[in-house]
Amino acid sequence: MAPAVSRVELVPIFEDNYVFVLVDEGKKEALVVDPGEAKAVASYLQREGLSLKGILLTHHHSDHVGGVKELKSSFSAPVFAPQKNKNQISYADQFVKEGDEISVGGFSFSVMELPGHTLGHVAYWNQTKKWLFSGDVLFGLGCGRLFEGTYEQMYQSLQRIKSLPSETLVYCTHEYTETNLHFCKMLSNLDDSPITGDDEGLALYENELTNRRSLNLPSVPLKLFIEKKVNPFLLARNVQQFTYLRELRNKQ
Ligand code: ZN
Ligand code: FE
């Protein structure tokens, strides 16, 4: 018997969000991560004949949870949300925290708490596939804004992502990579740039990114191995450097 094939589908919503649908082809089952809107996700599930086994949430922002109630009531799937967002996401069925191991519809995840963008932000790590569903922490050549957490927290959260295996694929929620590329180029042109990354790596990144985006293909999932070489926020050597970069990026 051929092994069951599983894959991650990207359903674009709004301007630049992706909802991730994890599909188990053998069982025709699916999980959904951060459905900011229900309609596009529901039609994808129906078109593919998939039954929804669970909804995973990384944090409470409306572009990540906006479609949850509707999906939950149409498909009666359990909702997993960060323990620290118990007040904001009171309708969840199971609250998760650092170190929890959860098993949903044939997929297993370890929960990582990654505060900074919000205080309760979590990521879901699938060890078998080396998939990380990381919401708004790391982006292509960038990182999330700090709405609730401190620079120290965000820096440490990024360090934790950095310490995952190099072959990790990072499923981040937003298609911000091209905008972040401009920031990286500006940064490498500074006389006193604090970051020394891999310039050839960045040039290759740009070439591939331009090709993909001109074909309307996503830049997600990110390859952690590559981000570690070129993403300035992963190259920052300490909190001070990280803070400097994040503040500079805010001004853009
Ligand atoms: Zn957010
Ligand atoms: Fe977001």
Please give the average per-residue pLDDT across 152-156, as a whole number.
98
State what percent of residues in the chain have pLDDT above 90.
94
Point out the ligand nearest to the CA of residue 17.
Answer: 2
Give distance in angstroms: CA of 59 to centre of ligand 1. Answer: 7
Give distance in angstroms: CA of 63 to centre of ligand 1. Answer: 7
Give distance in angstroms: CA of 63 to centre of ligand 2. Answer: 6
Give distance in angstroms: CA of 67 to centre of ligand 2. Answer: 13
With left for phi above 0 and alpha for psi between -120 and 50, is residue 103 left, alpha or beta? beta
Give distance in angstroms: CA of 137 to centre of ligand 2. Answer: 9
Q: Which residues lie at CB < 5 A from ion ligand 2?
A: 63, 136
Point out the ligand nearest to the CA of residue 139.
Answer: 2
Please give the average per-residue pLDDT across 143-164, as a whole number.
98
pLDDT tens string 168-226 = 999 999 999 999 999 999 999 888 888 888 999 999 999 999 999 999 999 999 999 99
Q: So what's the pLDDT on residue 184?
A: 96
Give distance in angstroms: CA of 4 to centre of ligand 2. Answer: 32
pTM: 0.97
Report the C-alpha gap between 145 and 116 in whole angstroms. 8
Point out the ligand nearest to the CA of residue 18.
Answer: 2
Cis peptide before 221 (omega within 30 of 0): yes
pLDDT tens string 4-33 = 689 999 999 999 999 999 999 999 999 999
pLDDT tens string 100-137 = 999 999 999 999 999 999 999 999 999 999 999 999 99
Give distance in angstroms: CA of 212 to centre of ligand 1. Answer: 25
Give distance in angstroms: CA of 18 to centre of ligand 1. Answer: 12
Whether residue 3 is predicted with pLDDT greater than 60 in this model: the reply is: no
Give distance in angstroms: CA of 136 to centre of ligand 2. Answer: 6
Give distance in angstroms: CA of 219 to centre of ligand 2. Answer: 16
Please give the average per-residue pLDDT across 78-94, as a whole number.
98
Q: So what's the pLDDT on residue 160?
A: 98
Q: Are 184 and 140 in contact (CB under 8 A)?
A: no
Point out the ligand nearest to the CA of residue 174.
Answer: 2
Give distance in angstroms: CA of 120 to centre of ligand 2. Answer: 14
Point out the ligand nearest to the CA of residue 60.
Answer: 1
Class of domain 7-250: alpha beta
Report the C-alpha gap between 93 and 218 in whole angstroms. 31
Q: So what's the pLDDT on residue 191?
A: 86
Give the list of residues 6+ apart from residue 7 with CB closer than 8 angstroms, or none.
Answer: 22, 23, 25
- Domain borders along the chain are 7-250
Q: So what's the pLDDT on residue 202?
A: 96
